[in-house]
Amino acid sequence: MKKSIGFRLNGQPTTLDTEEDRTLLWVLRTDLGLTGTKCGCGIGACGSCTVVVDGTAVRSCQTTLMEVAGKEVTTIEGLARGDELHPLQQAFVDHGGLQCGFCTPGMIMNAYGLLLEDPRPSREKVVDAMEGNLCRCSAYKRILEAIESVASSNGGRS
Amino acid sequence: MMPDLDRRAFLKLVGGGIVVLVRLGPSPALAQFGRGYPEDFNAYLRIDEDGKVTVFSGKIEMGQGVTTSLAQMAAEELGVALDSIEMVLGDTDRCPWDMGTFGSLTTRVFGPVLRKAAAEARAILIELAAEKLGVPRDRLVVRQGVVSVRDEPGRQVSYGALARGQAIARTLGEEAVLRSVEEFEVMGRSVQRLDAVAKVTGKAQYAADIRLPGLLYARILRPPAHGATLARVDTSEAAAMEGVRVVEEDGLVAVLHVDPEMAGAALGRLRPEWNAASPGADTDGVFDDLLSRAPAPEVTGVKGDVEAARTAGTPVLESTFRKGYVAHAPIEPHAATAQLKEGKLTVWSSTQTPFPLRDELARTMGLEAERVRVITPYVGGGFGGKTAGRQAEEAARLARITGQPVQVAWTRAEEFFYDTLDPACIVKIASAVDGDGRITLWDCDVYFAGDRAAEIFYDIPHTRMRVFGGWMGPGASAHRFAVGPWRAPGANMNVFARESQIDVLASEAKVDPVDFRLRNMGDERMGRVVREAAKAFGWTPQPAPSGRGWGVAAGIDSGAYVALAVEVEVDRETGAVRVERVVCAQDMGIVVNPEGAIMQMEGCITMGLGYVLSEELRFDGGRMLDDNFDTYELPRLSWLPRIETVLVKNDALAPQGGGEPPIVPMGGAIANAVFDATGERIFRLPLTPARVKEALGKRRAG
C-alpha cells in the first residue's frame, strides 16, 4: 500500500508516495536517481551500499524506507559542498585509496559514520569499523592511510 | 574492403584538427573483427582547435589506472600538461578496434605506440610552428602546449592556434623519436589518478548506473545447479503481479519491472520444475576427476636427459600441488543496460572486451556490427572475469523482446554461478638436489594451469615440462563450470608449485632458501631482484624450518621480475595463518607512474592473500555451495600486512606489465613461510585454517 514517507536527504526535505517496505538502496538508485550508492552483495556483507542515517553508517540494502522516515539520510552525493570535497573524499584522492572505485562510496560513507561517532578513533577501532567493507582491488593500505589522515587532523567536518 | 575510402569517411567523421593514427602492427584479428572501421589503426589522438588533446582507445578502465598512465604517456611526448588530455575509452563507435584489456598489455604493447603517435603529433606541430613563426625547427621549444622560439619567449604560438583550420591526418611512421628517461617531465612521476574525483563523489558511472526513460529491470530464472535443465515453468502468478512483464524465449525466462525489487519479487513467484543435474565430483574429489580427463600434453623446456637424471642415484623428491576454483568476485557484479532504437543497439556493459562483445552481440542479434554500439563506463573490477558478455547478450535480447530499454544486473549469487572461474589445477614436480646444493633434475607436469610463468629461471641441467591443458583450449572443457583468465592466469599456481618445490630442495640440502635460489640462479636479472627483496627484508640466512616464519618466492610475469619475502605467524590452535609483513621487489623496466605501479603492487599482494589463504569456491556436483561473501571469504582490512615495495631500477628496458606480476609469487612465499614457521608443508591452496591445523595435528601425532 502506498504511503507518503518523508525524510531529509542530503540536507533536503524529501517526500515519496510509495510502499514503505521498499529497500532504501533501491529507492535511492531508482526513484531518486542517486546511483553513487552501489549494490555489491544484497545481504549486507560487502558495505558498498553504506549510507549514513542520523549520524550512523547503515547498509542501505538492509534498510527499509519506513526505517528512515523522519530521519536524516546522507549519501555519497551529499558529502561534498559544491566543488569542495569533504576531507575524507580529499584524503581518498590524495592517498590513492581507490582503484576501480566501486566500493569507494561505501568505504567513504562508512568512515564518515565512524568519524561522526568518534572523531579520533584508534587504528584498532578504524580497522574494526571498516572490516565489513570489501575492496576487491585491495586498496586497503591506502584506504586505512586516508581515513587515519583525517582522523588525526580534525576528525572531519561533521 | 577499401581502407582508403573508409579512412576518408572516418576522418570526415572526426572533424578538423590534427589527427595521428596509431597502429599496433599487423594483426589477423583486425581483419577478422575490424568491420565498420578503418582496419589499419587501433587508436588515435586528436589535437583540437582549442588545444584540447583527446586520445581514443578501445582499452577500458577497471581500476588498474590506465586512464592516467596512458594520458601521462601522451602528455609527455606531446609536451602538454596532463590535464589537457582527455581519454575516451572502450566506446566502439568513437574508438577504433582493440582486442580488449587483459594480460598486462596496455602499458607494454599499447603504450609505446601511443607515445610514438604523440611524438609524431609534436613533430607535425613544430613543423607548422616553424612555418608560422618563420624560424627553423631546431630553434623551437615546446612547453605546456606552446611552441616558442628559443631565447625569444615573446615569439610563440599555441597548439590550439596551430591546429585551427587544419585537417591533417597522419598514420604513425617508424621515425618518431621518443623522449628519453632523462627528459621525462610527466612520465616517471607520480600523479593523482585522473578518475579519482569522479570516484569519491559517486559521479563515476558503472553499467548498472545508466538510467533511461522507460528502463525495465530484469531478473532471469537460473538453474539450481550447472547441468539442471528446465522441464516447465508456471509463470501465471508472476504475470498477475502489477507492472510485471514475463518473457519466455528459447530457454530465456525473465521477469521485468520498472522497480528492480519488484522484478526480484516476481522471480520468486515463478514456479519452475527442473530436470536434475547429473551428479559429479565435489570440491575435494575434483582433482582425481580432472586428472582422469586431462588432455594430451604439450612438452616444453626440455633440456639434458630427464630420464637418466631420475635414475642417477640422487634421491628424487616428488610433490603434488593442488589448487581449487577461485572466483574473480569483483565488487561490481556483471551488468548491462541495453537499448534498441531505430534499428541500432546500444549496450552499456561492464566488460574488459568491448569490441569482441560488440561482434558477439551483432552475431547473436543478427545485426551488422555498425548497428551495435558497446559503451564501457567505469568497470568495477575485472581481473579477467569481465571478458565474457553473457549479461550483455541477455539485456540485448530482452530489450528487443520488450521493445524497451532493459538492465540486467547480476546478483552476487549469479555472479558466483556464471563466473569464468580460475580453474582447479594440479602440478606434479619430480626434482633432485646434489650434495653441493645444486639442483640436478626438474621434471614438471602441469594439469589445467597452462604454462604461464612456468619457465624455470634456475640453472638446472636436466629439465622437462609437460603441460596438460590450461584455462583455455582443450583443458577448459574438462571442467563442469566455465573457466577463464584470472589475474595472471595459471601463473599463480605454476609459481606456487615451483617455488614451494625449490624450498623442498633447499630444506633437503639444508641451505637457506635465499642462498639456495642464488646458488642455482640462471638469470642474473632475477638474481638481482631476489637480492633486493632479501636486503629490504633484512634477511639473514638460516635453513628452513627456522621457526621464524619467513618465506621467499620469485616469479616472472608479463615481462616483470618479482621477488617477495614474507613473514607469517601461525596460530597452532586454530591453524590460522596471519601474514605480518610482505616485502616486494620488482623490476618492471621504465616505471611510467611510480605511485600507480606501487598501488598495483600493494593491490596484488593484498588480493593475493585471498587465493592463498581462504578463497576456494566450494561445490557439490553442479551446485555451488558458496554464493555470497558470507561464506566465500575475501581479504579484509584486518588482514593487511605491513607492505614494503622496492622498484628495482631498470631504465634500459621499456615499461613492462604491472597489474599482475606481484600476485604471482604470493602462494609460494606464504607456503614457504608456513613451512619455516611450523616444519609442515601444505601442498594445496588455499592454506585454510582447517588444512594447516590438520597438517600440524599429523605432526604432533607422528
Write the DSSP string, B642-700.
EEEEEE---TTS-----SSGGGTTHHHHHHHHHHHHHS----EES--HHHHHHHHHHHH
Asked whether residue B117 falls in the same domain as residue B39, the answer is yes
State which residues form the domain around B90. 3-197
Give the separation between CA B303 and CA B102, rounded to whole angstroms. 32
Task: Look at residues B362, B378, B409 and tell me which one is the last residue of a structural domain.
Answer: B409
Asked whether residue A59 falls in the same domain as residue A118, the answer is no
pLDDT digits (tens, 9 = 90+) for B547-599: 999 999 999 999 999 999 999 999 999 999 999 999 999 999 999 888 889 98
Q: How large is the average pLDDT for residues B168-190?
A: 73
Query: What are the cell numbers at A107?
Result: 568505504
Q: Tell if the pTM clears 0.90, that is, is over it.
A: yes
- pLDDT for position B379: 97
At residue B417 the predicted structure's pLDDT band, cuts being 50, 70 and 90, is very high
Asked whether residue A124 falls in the same domain as residue A147, the answer is yes
Residues belonging to chain B: 702
In chain B, what percentage of residues exceed pLDDT 70? 92
- pLDDT for position B192: 83
Query: What are the cell numbers at B310?
Result: 631420475
Q: What angle do CA B401, B405, B406 make, to 5 degrees?
A: 75
Q: Which of residues 124-153 of A touch B (CB under 8 A)?
A: 127-128, 130-144
State which residues form the domain around A49. 2-78
Q: Tell me how close the Cα of B695 comes to any Cα of chain A, in angstroms.
A: 29
- pLDDT for position B179: 81
List the single best residue of B61, B67, B201 to mutate versus A (max A Cβ within 10 A): B201
Residue A158 domain-assigned (yes or no): no
- Checking if the pLDDT of B20 tops 80, the result is no
CATH of the domain at B144: 3.30.365.10
Pair A5, A65: CB distance under 8 Å: yes
At residue B256 the predicted structure's pLDDT band, cuts being 50, 70 and 90, is very high
Q: Would you give the end-to-end CA distance of chain B in angstroms?
A: 73
Give the separation between CA A30 and CA B80, rounded to whole angstroms. 41
Asked whether residue B141 falls in the same domain as residue B177, the answer is yes
With CA atoms as reference, the chain A residue closest to B643 would be A141
- pLDDT for position A24: 98
Give the separation between CA A51 and CA A59, rounded to whole angstroms. 7
Q: What SS3 state is found at B605?
A: helix
DSSP assigned state of B481: S
Whether A96 contacts chain B with CB within 8 A: yes
Pairing of strands B439-447, B462-468: parallel
Asked whether residue B532 falls in the same domain as residue B553, the answer is yes
Residue B280 domain-assigned (yes or no): no
Give the separation between CA B460 and CA B319, rounded to whole angstroms. 18
- pLDDT for position B19: 79
Q: What are the chain A neighbours of B202 within 8 Å (beta carbons)?
A: 34-37, 75-77, 105
Task: Look at residues A78, A110, A136 and tell me which one is the last residue of a structural domain.
Answer: A78
Q: Which residue has the cell 522471480?
A: B267
Asked whether residue B57 falls in the same domain as residue B13, the answer is yes
Residue A9 domain-assigned (yes or no): yes
Asked whether residue A91 falls in the same domain as residue A31, the answer is no
Q: Which residue has the cell 599496433?
A: B24
Burial track B381-417 (b if 16+ CB lie within 10 A, e otherwise): bbbbbbbbbbbbbbbbbbbbbbebbbbbbbbbbbbbb
- pLDDT for position B659: 85
CATH of the domain at A11: 3.10.20.30
Asked whether residue B319 falls in the same domain as residue B348, the answer is no
At residue B186 the predicted structure's pLDDT band, cuts being 50, 70 and 90, is confident
Pair B118, B79: CB distance under 8 Å: no
Provide the H-helix boundaries in B165-305: 196-200, 236-239, 260-268, 286-291
Task: Look at residues A36, A57, A78 and tell me which one is the last residue of a structural domain.
Answer: A78
Give the separation between CA A50 and CA A27, rounded to whole angstroms. 14
Q: Tell me how close the Cα of B351 comes to any Cα of chain A, in angstroms.
A: 13
Asked whether residue B592 falls in the same domain as residue B690, the answer is yes
Q: Which residue in B373, B509, B524, B362 sits closest to B431, CA to CA?
A: B509
pLDDT digits (tens, 9 = 90+) for B46-97: 888 888 899 988 899 999 888 898 999 999 999 999 989 999 999 999 887 8
Whether A38 contacts chain B with CB within 8 A: yes
Pair A136, B611: CB distance under 8 Å: no
With CA atoms as reference, the chain B residue closest to A38 would be B332
Based on the structure, what is the number of domains in chain B? 3
Give the separation between CA B121 and CA B144, rounded to whole angstroms. 14
Asked whether residue A8 falls in the same domain as residue A74, the answer is yes
Task: Look at residues B197, B228, B246 and tell me which one is the last residue of a structural domain.
Answer: B197
Asked whether residue B50 falls in the same domain as residue B156, the answer is yes
Question: How is chain B split among helix, strand and coil, in percent rounded to 5?
Answer: 35, 25, 40
- pLDDT for position B33: 39
pLDDT digits (tens, 9 = 90+) for B371-384: 999 999 999 999 99
Q: What angle do CA A74, A78, A83 make, to 5 degrees?
A: 160
Residue A24 domain-assigned (yes or no): yes
- Checking if the pLDDT of B364 tops 90, the result is yes
Asked whether residue B573 falls in the same domain as residue B690, the answer is yes
Asked whether residue B640 falls in the same domain as residue B611, the answer is yes
Query: Phi, psi at residue B383, to the nearest 5°?
Result: 60, 20
Q: What are the chain B neighbours of A131 within 8 Å (beta carbons)?
A: 636-638
Give the separation between CA B338 and CA B450, rounded to whole angstroms. 36
Residue B414 domain-assigned (yes or no): no
Q: What are the chain A neighbours of B191 within 8 Å (beta carbons)?
A: none
pLDDT digits (tens, 9 = 90+) for B445-478: 999 999 999 989 999 999 999 999 999 988 899 9
CATH of the domain at A93: 1.10.150.120
Based on the structure, what is the number of domains in chain A? 2
Answer yes or no: do A23 and B261 touch at CB < 8 A: yes
DSSP assigned state of B106: I
- Checking if the pLDDT of B6 tops 80, the result is no
Give the separation between CA B580 and CA B566, rounded to whole angstroms. 8
Asked whether residue B674 falls in the same domain as residue B542, the answer is yes
Residue B278 domain-assigned (yes or no): no
With CA atoms as reference, the chain B residue closest to A125 would be B638
Between B644 and B659, name the one with better pLDDT. Answer: B644
Asked whether residue B338 falls in the same domain as residue B321, the answer is no
Pairing of strands B335-341, B271-275: unpaired
Q: How large is the average pLDDT for residues B223-237?
A: 97
DSSP assigned state of A27: I
Q: What are the chain B neighbours of A143 within 8 Å (beta carbons)?
A: 637
- pLDDT for position B96: 79
Counting as low any pLDDT under 70, the low residues of chain A are 154-158
Q: What SS3 state is found at B468?
A: strand
At residue B310 the predicted structure's pLDDT band, cuts being 50, 70 and 90, is very high
Nearest to B640 among A92, A132, A144 (CB): A144
Between B427 and B697, name the one with better pLDDT. Answer: B427
Give the separation between CA B239 and CA B405, rounded to whole angstroms. 19
Task: Look at residues B409, B442, B475 and tell me which one is the last residue of a structural domain.
Answer: B409
Least confident window among A123-137, B20-34, B337-351: B20-34
Task: Look at residues A37, A59, A78 and tell me which one is the last residue of a structural domain.
Answer: A78
Query: Phi, psi at residue A143, to the nearest 5°?
Result: -65, -45
- pLDDT for position B473: 87
Nearest to A103 among B331, B383, B605 (CB): B331
Answer yes or no: do A102 and B412 touch at CB < 8 A: no
Residue B380 domain-assigned (yes or no): yes
pLDDT digits (tens, 9 = 90+) for B469-503: 999 988 899 999 999 999 999 999 999 999 999 99
- pLDDT for position A154: 57
Asked whether residue A10 falls in the same domain as residue A70, the answer is yes
Asked whether residue B182 falls in the same domain as residue B256, the answer is no
Q: What SS3 state is found at B5?
A: helix
Pair B653, B589: CB distance under 8 Å: yes
Q: How large is the average pLDDT for residues B670-692?
A: 98
Residue A15 domain-assigned (yes or no): yes
